[in-house]
Amino acid sequence: MAKYGFLGLGIMGSAMAANLVRAGFEVTVWNRTAARCAPLVALGARQAATPREVAESCDITFAILADPAAALAACRGEDGVAAGIGGGRGYVDMSTVDDATAQHIAQMINARGGRFLEAPVSGTKKPAEDGTLIILSGGDRSLYDEAAPAFDKMGKKRLFLGEVGQGARMKLVVNLVMGSMLTALGEGMSLGLKGGLDGAQILEVLDAGAMACPMFRAKGPMLLAGEFPTSFPLKHMQKDLRLALSLGEELGQNLATTVASNELFKRVRIDGHGDEDIGAVFRAIR
């Protein structure tokens, strides 16, 4: 049985790694804040001191880190993944980054004799806990096939999208749509409430028609309550919208709606609410 590594034990990574351990796989974990490894160790995982140690001792190392800077930092230096990868071992970066960052990491891993696969995920805390994420892969097809048993414990659907960068682009498209939809929901709710409509009835009407969707079902009550317990941190969504806008600039695509959504998310982050859930964008709308 393959030995798996897992780097990054935040909201998403802790749940994803736990699913691998519970499935009976041998898992070695690392996190920049070492104390976050303790719950995984209690489940049966082994803790490593550095990303390099994980990559040296595991057949396939998975990572899900906060942003492009964190994803690059985990690979660089004498204690980084690239220093320990060699021997055809695999590195699967599940972080949400831009395509250029994914390609840069791929070059570092390949240059050291490893194999690379990007595999960002669509889904938030609950799907991560339930193992129902959607996994969007690009890069080494052999590594995609070998990682399948682990992917199938973390997600309900996985796609191979081709070369490195296509997974990153797909993830940015998905989160662009999500951010814009949530902004529209917030504006509609705010307008309706100011017009004397009952918020629960607004959500009931939306849920009964063509716009019914799990996100509205989950986030609508959160907006009404004005409480935003974190499933997907707002600061990460704003990062993804910024990366999508950069991709739009690169490809010459007008993203006017995304520009407006990004400004709302940015305002809430600057006001100090970046660690709250993405539903907190409602703070700027209200």
**For the chain, the helix, strand and coil percentages under 3-state DSSP, each to the nearest 5:** 60, 15, 25
Of 145, 164, 183, the domain-final residue: 164
- 202 and 136, same domain (yes or no): no
Is 171 among the catalytic positions?
A: yes
CATH, residue 255: 1.10.1040.10
* Pairwise CA distance, residues 274 & 283, whole Å: 11
155-160 and 121-122 beta bridge pairing: unpaired
- 181 and 269, same domain (yes or no): yes
* Pairwise CA distance, residues 219 & 207, whole Å: 12
Q: How confident is the model at residue 150 (pLDDT cuts 50, 70, 90)?
A: very high
- 138 and 243, same domain (yes or no): no
Q: What is the pLDDT of residue 156?
A: 98
- 81 and 180, same domain (yes or no): no
Task: Compute the average pLDDT of residues 167-172.
Answer: 97
- 137 and 180, same domain (yes or no): no
Share above pLDDT 90 across residues of the chain, in percent, rounded to a whole number: 100
Instruction: Please determine, for residue 89, whether its predicted confidence score (pLDDT) is greater than 90.
Output: yes
Q: What is the pLDDT of residue 160?
A: 98
Task: Compute the average pLDDT of residues 133-152.
Answer: 98
Task: Compute the average pLDDT of residues 174-191.
Answer: 98
Share above pLDDT 70 across residues of the chain, in percent, rounded to a whole number: 100
- 35 and 138, same domain (yes or no): yes
pLDDT averaged over the chain?
97
- Please give the full DSSP string across the chain, using - where no structure is assigned: --EEEEE--SHHHHHHHHHHHHTT-EEEEE-SSGGGGHHHHHHT-EE-SSHHHHHHH-SEEEE--SSHHHHHHHHSSTTSHHHH-TTT-EEEE-S---HHHHHHHHHHHHHTT-EEEE--EE--HHHHHHT-EEEEEEE-HHHHHHHHHHHHHHEEEEEE-SSTTHHHHHHHHHHHHHHHHHHHHHHHHHHHHHTT--HHHHHHHHHHSTT--HHHHHHHHHHHHT----SSBHHHHHHHHHHHHHHHHHHT---HHHHHHHHHHHHHIIIIITTSBGGGGHHHH-
Count of other CB atoms within 10 angstroms of residue 174: 19
Instruction: Please determine, for residue 1, whether its predicted confidence score (pLDDT) is greater than 90.
Output: no
CATH, residue 24: 3.40.50.720
Instruction: Please determine, for residue 23, whether its predicted confidence score (pLDDT) is greater than 90.
Output: yes
Using an 8 Å Cβ cutoff, are 105 and 71 in contact? Answer: yes
Domain containing 14: what range?
3-164
Instruction: Please determine, for residue 99, whether its predicted confidence score (pLDDT) is greater than 90.
Output: yes
Of 164, 197, 225, the domain-final residue: 164
Of 114, 149, 164, the domain-final residue: 164
Q: What is the pLDDT of residue 214?
A: 94
- 26 and 118, same domain (yes or no): yes
Task: Compute the average pLDDT of residues 89-95.
Answer: 98
Q: What is the pLDDT of residue 82?
A: 97
139 has which bridge partners?
117
Helix (H) or strand (E) holding 46: strand 46-47
- 44 and 73, same domain (yes or no): yes
E strands present in 155-220:
155-160
- 140 and 248, same domain (yes or no): no
Q: What is the pLDDT of residue 19?
A: 98
Domains: count for the chain: 2
Longest dimension (CA), the chain: 65
Catalytic residue among 125, 171, 235, 266: 171
* Pairwise CA distance, residues 56 & 85, whole Å: 6
CA distances (Å), origin 244, targets 58, 161, 262: 33, 18, 10
Q: What is the pLDDT of residue 180?
A: 97
Tokens 């296509």 correspond to what residue?
166
Task: Compute the average pLDDT of residues 71-91.
Answer: 97
Using an 8 Å Cβ cutoff, are 217 and 261 in contact? Answer: no
- 158 and 181, same domain (yes or no): no
- 159 and 248, same domain (yes or no): no
